[in-house]
Structure 1
Amino acid sequence: MKKLITAVMMSAVFAATSISTATAANNYPDGPVKIIVPYSAGGGSDSVSRALAEALKPDFPKGIAVENRTGGAGSIGMSYGMNSKADGTIVTMIAPELVMLPHTGNGGDIDYKKFKPLAMVNSGYAAITVPSDSPYKNLDQLIEGAKTNNLLFGNSGTGSIWHLAGAGMEQAAGVEFTHVPFQGSSAAITSLLGHHLDGVSVSYAEVASHVEAGTLRALAVLAPNRLKDNPDVPTAKELGYDVVIGTWRGYAVPANTPEETVDFLTKSILNAAETETFVKFMNNTNNDIEVIGTEKFAQKIANEDNFYKQLIESIGLNK
């Protein structure tokens, strides 16, 4: 009899807990929400996230705001979000570093499998860029030059996405560059403008204003298709070099977040990415909008985990 009573009581407690969880999920959002950006204020990830948060406000009457938690090339903020309470109050902006850093041994405890991806809203592919007066007028000439000359290629830091973009380009072309790391893309671009480098492999958005001003020349983009911002620049792939590498920005919550909360957040983000204010901001800042939902985003992350594992091992940056 005691066992029966205990079993009944346990069932009642479990049922009450389930009802409470479901009710909490159905009432979401019943409090303020934070978007954790693992990079510094003023950067691309920060500005895109703040523009998205502004577009999300109608769906979050209790408030939604961005909080920057920097350090560890993004691992500090992503770890904080990954280990936060799984109730939708913390949403984390994630980027390729989520699947890059663990393979270099610099990712701390971050693990993409401990996140539930919501949606991706932005992508930015690498551009192989040289000074406008460079002797290399196209990508083929640059590759030929690299076979006999020590070409200095700037990037945003050893092991960064743009370092890997340069490494991917040289592997696809069968040549070697001398990679020069900087503290961020802007420093590398400044050095290129001063003719201290032969080229850089950073996002097109970061060099677009200089290309338009005629001080730099983009030889190719490491994108699947030509960019709408400058359709005259060919892709490396169409020139015979099979390499597609770029950054992206998306959002995720801890893996065990209730399904109803995940659905609410995903729909809200997908809708916000289509609002006039967000689209206008992205266009004005040369940020390409690329929107994909939960399932495709999850598959993209898994695919890139495998891709970067192999690339990082091939250039000796693995842990």
Structure 2
Amino acid sequence: MAIAAARLRSRTAFAAAAATALALTACGGVQTSTGGGSGDGWPSGTVEMYVGASAGGSSDLISRAVSKGLSDDLGGTFPVINREGANGALAAAEVANAPADGSTIAIQNASLFTITPLAVSPDEVTDIDDFDVVYGISRDDYVLVTSPASGFTTIEDMRNAGRTVRYGTTGVGTGAQLSAALLFKSGNVPSQAVPFDGGAPALAAVLGNQVEVASIQVGEAIENIQSGKLLPLAVFGPDRISYLPDVPTAKEQGLDVEVTQYRFMTVPKGTPQDVKDKLVEGLKATFGTEDYRKFNEQNSLTPMEIPGEDALTQLNADKQRYAELIDQYQISLRDAG
């Protein structure tokens, strides 16, 4: 209960701070002409921060936490603009087409560039080359969970079940979909996908025994894991995570599955370097605050605070690796399963 209360206080505080910034902008309390400019003059006003998800989700909460930190360190206001839809592609399109003058920024999800292209037609692909990647933000791991009623305590239990395992998916072209599909294919476990519209309904389905397992982001599942309502069978990152130190990775259990969600700051292609440098300065200051460190802990986020060129290298490597894996295991991501 203490963890849940702390998490709620954190989310409420960041949402309130963002709302205050928006109210000040609307009332003329700050300069609202543009965030454009360069060097020491940036931001000269409001800088819009787009997020491709609805309010209250992980992407939104992370954006609001960073928005508050940037405002505190750099001045100006950084209102979060929600443009949900198409796994973040709608917001990405607005950022790509915005003026490259520092007035528009966005924290974007890796899956939009590494996994979604494997699930949509070529004309629907969002290209990372349309953006400048400024700096890494954090990693949001997936965990395979089950209800105690399933009788599964390990992945090996699923292999030996002698029946088709029903698992929940959280959308086409997502890391949750890919990690679950890879696990069942590489583990030779007969399975049936049951589609849900996001992590919350998939979580409810596992708790209600409508499906036996689901791949869900750790932050969404951890309270039910800690209370004993869910059992974690594997995490899908490259190594174990501090929030669930006793849960082995899928690779430790002999499965060729490594899928993570991570986020990074982007700006329209061609944004002046001195603006990007100032943005990095503000991000580093934000990362160093106690409030932001607590936010990461309360939302089970692993810092991935790396230079933009390193984040871009990781993106391109993951995109190629995922493409090779779905080809190897003959997986189609074009439907919910």
Which of the five TM-score ranges fits, normalised by the shorter chain? 0.7 to 0.9
Note if 1:151 corresponds to 2:165: yes
For residues 282 and 307 of structure 2, what CA distance do their matches in structure 1 show? 11
| 1:225-304 → structure 2 map (5 Å cutoff) | 225-304=239-318
1:191: how far off?
Answer: 0.9
> Using the alignment, how far apart are the partners of 1:297 and 1:174 within structure 2?
33
Structure 1 residues 172 and 263, CA gap change in structure 2 (3 angstroms):
farther
Offset, 1:139: 1.6
* TM-score under structure 2 length normalisation: 0.82
Taking the aligned partners of 2:305 and 2:220, their CA distance within structure 1 comes to 20
Question: Aligned partners of 1:199 and 1:109: how far apart in 2?
Answer: 30
Superposition map of 1:210-229 within 5 A: 210-229=224-243
SS of residue matched to 1:102 = helix
* Residue 99 (structure 1) aligns with: 114
Matches within 5 A, 1:18-37: 24-26=37-39, 27-37=41-51
Partner of 1:315: 331
Find the aligned partners of 1:173 and 1:270 in 2 and give their Cα distance. Answer: 41
Question: Is this contact kept in 2: 1:99–1:111, CA < 8 A?
Answer: no
Select the structure of larger CA radius of gyration.
1
Q: 5+ residue gaps in structure 1?
A: 1-22
1:101-147 CA-partner distances (Å, limit 9, x unpaired): 233226736211111111222112211111123221112212332xx
Q: How does 1:54-69 map to 2 (within 5 A)?
A: 54-69=68-83
Deviation track 1:225-271 (CA, whole Å, cap 9, x = no partner) reads 11111211111111222211121122101221111112221232133
| Matched AA of 2:124 | G
Q: Alpha-carbon deviation of 1:312?
A: 5.0
Inter-partner Cα distance in structure 2 for 1:170 and 1:312: 12
- 4+ runs of 1 displaced by more than 6 Å? none
CA distance in 1, matches of 2:125, 2:251: 35
CA deviations over 1:165-211 (Å, ceiling 9, x no partner): 10121233233421111011110111111111110011122111111
Which has the larger displacement, 303-312 or 79-88? 303-312
The 5 Å alignment of 1:67-106 reads 67-95=81-109, 96-105=111-120
Distance in 2 between the 1:138 and 1:99 partners?
29
Could you list the runs of 5+ residues in structure 2 that have no partner in the other structure? 1-35
| Residue 134 of structure 1: aligned partner | 150
**How far apart are the structure 2 equivalents of 1:109 and 1:127?**
27
How many residues align? The count is: 295
Q: Distance in 2 between matches of 1:143 and 1:292?
A: 38
> What residue in structure 1 maps to residue 59 of structure 2?
45
Given candidates 122, 140, 147, the residue that maps to 1:124 is 140
Post-superposition Cα deviations, 1:56-112, rounded to whole Å, max 9, x if no partner, equal 113332211211111122110011111111111111121112332233226736211
| Cα RMSD for the two superposed structures | 2.0
Q: 1:138 to 1:276 in 2, by over 3 A?
A: same
Aligned residue type for 1:76: L
* Contact preservation (8 Å) 1:115, 1:253: yes
**Identical aligned residues as a percent:** 27
Given that residues 117 and 173 in structure 2 are in contact (C-alpha distance below 8 angstroms), is that contact kept between their aligned partners in structure 1?
no
Provide the rounded CA distance (Å) in 2 between the counterparts of 1:24 and 1:93: 20
Contact 1:122 1:287 in 2 (8 A): yes
Indicate conservation of the 8 Å contact 1:82/1:110, yes or no. Answer: no
- Counterpart for residue 31 of structure 2: none
Return 194-203 or 51-60, whichever deviates more.
51-60
Q: Deviations over 1:253-303 (max 9, x none)?
A: 122111111222123213312211111122122233222221211101111
Q: Which amino acid in structure 2 is aligned with residue 25 of structure 1?
A: S
